[in-house]
Structure 1
Amino acid sequence: MALSPKLEMRQSQSLIMTPQLMQAIKLLQLSNLDLSAYVDAELERNPLLEKGEGEGGADAGSDGAEASSGDYADDFSESYGDSGEFSETSGFSDGGTFESSAEDWMQRDLEPAAEQIASRMDTDLGNVFPDDPGVSTPAAPGAAGGDGEAFRSTGSGGSLGEDYNLEAFVAQDDTLISVLEDQMHLVVSDPLDKLIAQHLINSLDENGYLHDDLAEVADQLGVPAEHVEAVLLLLQSFEPAGVFARSLAECLILQLKEKNRFDPAMQALIENIELLGRHDYPALRRICGVDDEDFQDMLTEIKALDPRPGRRFGGAPVQAMVPDVLVRQANDGSWAVELNSETLPKVLVNQTYYARVVRTARKDGEKEYLTDCLQTANWLVKSLDQRAKTILKVSSEIVRQQDGFLTYGIAHLRPLNLKTVADAVGMHESTISRVTSNKYMMTPRGIFELKYFFSSAISATVGGDAHSAEAVRHRIRQMIDAESVDAILSDDTIVKILNDDGIDIARRTVAKYREAMHIPSSVQRRREKRVRR
């Protein structure tokens, strides 16, 4: 065969990752918070996009805006019927969608309390603060404007109407740094000492520990190391007790000294704190030279100390987990599955604005820019709609597979993998993986990440149905929690009990699950329970 250059024509099929396809894949794996940030960025970038404010994503004040990504009712009706409920026996039932969302569920029990608060505000605030012109007083019964329900202002800008914000009067939370600085200004007077103290305060971590080397701090500030050490000793007397410690042992010592409980026996315990971590109580008691009763009192005092004294200040506010999917049991016993409308971005494409502007465009670059914006906007709305459909479809299949868990609890959680769900819904495993990442489902048993329902299978000993690894871990924890001091279960004993119940599991697997749940060994548990008895 001669080797020479030549031209050949071939036909082949391949999947090209276009920018639009990459955008759709990216949207699929975003959480609701990341998705909201992404949509907000697109709203700033694209002049043809608008944010819908009305119910279902439609903005009543938007002229010519259409193709809302928040209004999924028509698309769901085409794909799943007229109902948004999932029925275990017949897919989606005919009972209609349930209208409650996560916010409705939370606010339903808060409305009576809100009415009580409103009634208690029916107070003459002018009598409490008579000299404050900005304080409003309630209108007298029978006066113009209401029967004592509305507030009238006694000065300019003092209205307690709809715009009155009670949160403006909430005190700011104290942070660890602010608390320590207040104490420093009261105790430290020398300017150089204040400079050193401020540097050490700013060097604390969130737990209140100091990890900087004092020699390096002294060299950086240009002062003797003894001077820094003296300031540190002063700062270690501040509240909360235990701050500015450089180790766990020093943190506990500072708190014991503050309680006047740092005696020789307690010092021996702190110096051998690694034995306390291993629950080697007999050896630790011999080192301390105390009897069982005194040793038990010492352990009680140690457990009452705070190993992280800085955590009590300035903690980040707890953010409520907003579920993407809501699951509720219908009247007929089936499970109703609905997307949480609060997490669905409401985006509109203003076709009227595009038609008006494109007529005034004179340059080709302007028309091309507007066309690109329109295509991008339409594709974004389509991608959001497809994302919502996919999440609902995958969630419905998960609910169908894990009906036992929703009805009876974690002991009935079935083993499930991505391939099973992918085959059931006709999608690829990678798509299921993206859908279940950073998505949460609200069920009658709590809020769970979608990935929680996927667990490996542990085979049965007699050829029955496989068991979920999560259910087996729960069973192991239940057995250990129920054990007594005279009957501590070893890993071999747990394996035997599980094998008798039809669960084929190895000893190393039990040990792995136990360590993952931070459960100590049988020897350590026996020592700990004997001391507590």
Structure 2
Amino acid sequence: MVYFLRMKIKITASQIQKQVLAPSMQQSIEILLLPLIELNTAIELELQENPLLEIVEDRSMTSQNPIEDLVNQNLKRLKDSAIDNSQPAYFSQEEEDSEEKEITRSAPLEEYLLQQLRIEITDLLDLKIGEFIIGNLDEDGFFRMSCEETALMLGLKSAEIVERILHTIQNFEPLGVAARDLKECLTVQAHFKFNDTTRDLICKVINDHLEELGRKKYTEIARKLKLPLTTVKKITQEIASLEPRPARKYRPTDTNIYVRADVTITKNSEGEYEVRINNDSIPHLRINAFYQNMLKQPNRTPEEIEFIREKVKNGILFIKSIEQRHQTIRDITHYLVAYQKDFLENGPLQLKPMILKDVADSIGRNESTVCRAINNKYVETPQGLFPMKFFFSQALSENTQDGKSISSRSIKEEIKTLIEEENKVNPLSDQDIQNYFKEKGMPVARRTISKYRQAMRILPSHLRKT
């Protein structure tokens, strides 16, 4: 006897619990991610989209707590209908008649990757790890940190989850992004681009003979792999078709990158450090009372009233997001001043280990919030202009003889200084640098020195010799 299963297609309703970010929270996160220059662009775009927002020309009228006063003022206008009937000069007839020019900006690589991340991943912890990885890509699109270092900075017990999220991001578009080195970048692309017959051989050449390939030693590669020379040259052409810099198409072609400090640290006459948010170039916003006055007009339709109320709400949230961004950066910088005072006094060699978790616990914020706040932000210090990420580094597993922890960033800076001042005829080897640190009572492993040197793109001693 034969039984047949009958299949039906039907629609059923089910209840599930899912965490979804509110629109106000999404906007706050987007504003927090923006550097100073892009924040001005975002404000211009918001002014175009929301006619109820206007720029406050006279800043002397603003109080010490402008956002709280603004929110209370506009809520009072809506509830009590206490509306100012004066029309501001911002919406003059001359400006209304002038042609509006739409402001556009191309999406950077990080924003494109974040869009893919939020589609692929829903778990909040996985999202936080993914945002950290994307926020720490270098100009070529590489992720130069190890999974162990990332887990340590995020306060995670295991690096396995970091490894899993990293592999997920590496499969995003552009392929090979977030790779830790050139071999991994090319291997990821090869797995997607080539079929099974050639993929394994190409990956073997990439992983085992990439250095020889760079020196064009095709005969030596053919001998080791026991392949015809023509096959090796064909493989070389296939590898040459891969992209060694995944972020190339998403980075500006102009190598001159102009940055503006988001916050400035200065030393006053009493020898104390002061923190100032550089918001002079950021226009102060408020809600236009002229449009709110339309709410009292009896001939307005419910749709018009709802539109005005919605724009008022969006405008207040946008202004509040900007102020929250300033406050978060201010709190992080105050912690930086207190913790990294030796750096401010003596320079990068005195940098202390500092991780996201310590800062987040101190200022009462989430680690992901701190990570977003320092992304693409710069701080002007008495020692010069630095990215805020510069101050975040983990401690080496090896400690000094006096029991103090060593910042990996300070070790990198000292290695860089030693190599810059070395004798070019007889350059320092990794072993020489290790001996230098050992004499200072700082036991740094030779493999650690080699890893840091490669991360800074410094050649080995035999290639630096002149």
Please report the TM-score for the alignment, with normalisation by the length of structure 1: 0.47
- For residues 267-286 of structure 1, the aligned pairs below 5 Å read none
Shift of 1:436: 0.3
Which residue of the partner structure matches residue 472 of structure 1?
411
Supply the AA of the counterpart residue of 2:36. N
1:366 partner letter: E
> Residue 206 of structure 2 corresponds to which residue in structure 1?
none
Give the match for residue 42 of structure 1: 46
Residue in structure 1 matching 2:332, options 372, 385, 394: 394
Number of aligned residue pairs: give it.
272
The Cα of 1:326 is off from its aligned counterpart by 1.2
- The letter of the residue matching 1:346 is H
2:263 to 325, 328, 345: 325
- Secondary structure at the counterpart of residue 328 of structure 1: strand
Amino acid at match of 1:42: E
Alignment pair present for 1:355 and 2:293: yes
Deviation at 1:393, TM superposition (A): 1.1
State the AA in 1 paired with 2:283. Answer: P
Partner of 1:504, secondary structure, is: coil
Cα deviation, residue 317, structure 1: 9.4
1:451 to 2:381 alignment: no
Q: Distance in 2 between matches of 1:413 and 1:440?
A: 17
Tell me how far apart the structure 2 counterparts of residues 412 and 373 of structure 1 sit (CA, whole Å): 50
Q: How does 1:172-321 map to 2 (within 5 A)?
A: 318=256, 320-321=258-259
Quick check: 2:28–2:321 contact (8 Å CA) kept in 1?
Answer: yes
Matched, 1:369 2:307: yes
User: CA 1:75/1:394 → structure 2, altered by over 3 Å: closer, same or farther?
Assistant: farther
Q: Give the AA of the match of 2:460.
A: S
Partner SS, residue 327 of structure 1: strand
Of 476-485 and 336-345, the range deviating more from structure 2: 476-485
Q: Does residue 30 of structure 1 match 2:34? A: yes
Which of 394, 410, 413 is matched with 2:348 structurally? 410
1:52 aligns with 56
- Range with greater deviation from structure 2 (380-389 or 412-421): 380-389
Tell me, yes or no, if structure 1 residue 501 matches structure 2 residue 418: no
User: Residue deviations 1:39-81, cap 9 Å, x none?
Assistant: 212111212110222335x5xxxxxxxxxxxx57326999xxx
Distance in structure 2 (CA, Å) of the matches to 1:318 and 1:484: 31
Q: Is the 8 A contact 2:285 2:319 kept in 1?
A: yes
> Is 1:361–1:367's contact at 8 Å kept on the other side of the alignment?
no
CA distance in 2, matches of 1:378, 1:46: 11
Give me the whole-angstrom Cα distance separating, in 1, the residues matched to 2:27 and 2:464. Answer: 52
Letter aligned with residue 21 of structure 1 = M
Task: Report the CA distance shift for 1:47/1:357 in structure 2 as closer, same or farther (over 3 A).
Answer: farther
3-state DSSP class of the match of 1:457? Answer: coil
Q: 2:399 maps to which residue? A: 460
Aligned residue identity for 1:50 = E
Hey, what's the Cα distance between the residues in 2 that align with 1:422 and 1:348? 31
1: CA distance between counterparts of 2:425 and 2:387? Answer: 39
Structure 2 residue 431 is matched with structure 1 residue 431: no
Shift of 1:472: 0.8
- 8 Å CA contact 2:291–2:308 kept in 1: the answer is no
The equivalent residue for 1:295 is none
Equivalent of residue 19 in structure 1, options 6, 18, 23: 23
After TM superposition, give the deviation of residue 19 of structure 1 in Å.
Answer: 0.8
2:463 is matched with 524
Work out the CA distance in 2 between the residues paired with 1:50 and 1:76. 14
Structure 2 counterpart of 1:26, one-letter code = E
Which amino acid in the other structure matches residue 458 of structure 2? I
Deviations 1:432-480 (A, max 9, x none): 0010011111112211111111112123142521111121112122323
Whole-angstrom CA distance in 1 between matches of 2:416 and 2:257:
29
Q: Structure 1: any 5+ residue segments left out of the alignment?
A: 1-9, 59-70, 79-273, 279-314, 529-533
Provide the rounded CA distance (Å) in 2 between the counterparts of 1:319 and 1:467: 31
| Larger-Rg structure | 1
Tell me which residue corresponds to 2:187. Answer: none
TM-score normalised per structure 2? 0.53
Match of 1:301 in 2: none
Deviation of 1:320 (Å): 4.1
Give the root-mean-square deviation of aligned CA atoms.
3.1
CA contact (8 A) 2:37 2:260 kept: no
Instruction: Note the C-alpha offset of 1:483.
Output: 3.1
The question of whether the paired residues in 2 share the 8 Å contact of 1:76 and 1:389 is answered with no
In the alignment, the residues of structure 1 paired with residue 255 and residue 463 of structure 2 have an alpha-carbon distance, to the nearest angstrom, of: 36
* Aligned-pair CA distance for 1:337: 0.2
Match of 1:484 among 404, 415, 423: 423
Encode CA deviations 1:214-246: one digit per residue, 9 max, x unaligned.
xxxxxxxxxxxxxxxxxxxxxxxxxxxxxxxxx
Change (3 A) 1:40 1:480: closer
What's the % identity of the aligned pairs? Answer: 32
Give 1:267's aligned residue: none
Distance 1:450 1:361, change over 3 A: farther
| CA apart distance, 1:331 | 1.4
Pairwise CA distance, 1:378: 1.3
- Of Structure 1 and Structure 2, the greater helix share is in 2
In structure 1, the residue corresponding to 2:65 is in which secondary structure?
helix
